[in-house]
Amino acid sequence: MSDQRSITASVAYWGSIAALTAALCGLLGIQLRLLQPITGFYLFALGTLVGGIFALSVGLIALWVTRHQASGIGRKRAWIASAIGFALTMLLVTSALPGREFPPINDITTDLVDPPAFASVSLVPAYAGFDMGYPAEFVPVVREGYSDLASLELNLTPGAAYALSVEAAERLGWEVTQQDPGKGRFDASDTTRIFRFVDDITVRIRPQGSGSEVDIRSRSRVGRGDLGANAQRIRAFYAELRDR
């Protein structure tokens, strides 16, 4: 029985160490540019989802089977495994729960009738391999879930609105990847801080009466859902324009 308790505690302990290592390697690999963002994300998810739940479950079992041991390496390992497993599981839960309130889509626009189009692949090679068209099935979802997002009217000439929009994008830390002042449009990209996923943005300015109408589209390159990031980016952009 003593050997069984020791084996259970050891499995929980080393499992928790492996899970923690996977999660940390995923994050550090992304930040140090050693891993592609999606690879690092999957490694992080493996550590938190699979490893965290495993470590917590087996750790709790190990705590039960070693409950009569006041001390000893088996008892310590059971506590360590349970603590690491709990921390990783809570990290997963707190990261995933906020996303439940957002629709599982990754492309948001302020003009659902005539969404701004991204530049061609010849102008922005990073678009290669991606379908940059607007998904028709997203239209009713955006209309219902993001009803506050609409075209922004500015009391500025199209040229002035264009210059203001480019400045706003740069203040937000976006990388402007292509500009066409003649057509009143430009593309940009924004990189998320933790997992360094790249999201693409296109902004279009058109004449509207004596002023201008600004529309924006923001999409994630990876994943089906965006946890509301694209809508938040659009609101931040509009806030920059209104404040100037």
Domain ranges, residue 234 = 107-242
Residue 196 sits in a domain whose CATH number is 3.30.530.50
Q: Are residues 131 and 216 in the same domain?
A: yes
What is the DSSP track for the chain?
A: -HHHHHHHHHHHHHHHHHHHHHHHHHHHHHHTTSS-HHHHHHHHHIIIIIIHHHHHHHHHHHHHHTTT-SSSHHHHHHHHHHHHHHHHHHHHHHHHGGGGGS-S--EEES-SSSPPPPPPTTT-GGGTTS--SPPGGGHHHHHHHTTT---EEESS-HHHHHHHHHHHHHHTT-EEEEEEGGGTEEEEEEE-TTT--EEEEEEEEEEETTEEEEEEEEEESS-S--TTHHHHHHHHHHHHHHT-
Last residue of one domain, picked from the residues 101, 136, 171: 101
The yes-or-no verdict on residue 92 having pLDDT over 90 is no
Considering the domain architecture, whether residues 93 and 207 belong to the same structural domain is answered as no
pTM equals: 0.85
Q: Mean pLDDT for the chain?
A: 92
**Residue where a domain terminates, one of 76, 101, 126:** 101
Shared domain check, 189 and 218: yes
Number of domains in the chain: 2
CA 4 vs CA 18, 65, 74, 78: distances in Å: 21, 9, 10, 13
Domain identity same for 127 and 174: yes
Least confident of 74-88, 92-106, 196-210: 92-106
Please indicate, yes or no, whether residues 118 and 162 belong to a single structural domain of this protein. yes
| Shared-domain flag, residues 32 and 111 | no
Of all residues in the chain, the percent with pLDDT exceeding 70 is 95
One domain, residues 68 and 177:
no
> Using one digit for the tens of pLDDT, what is the confidence trace for 50-74?
999 999 999 999 999 888 776 788 8
Are 91 and 169 contained in the same domain?
no
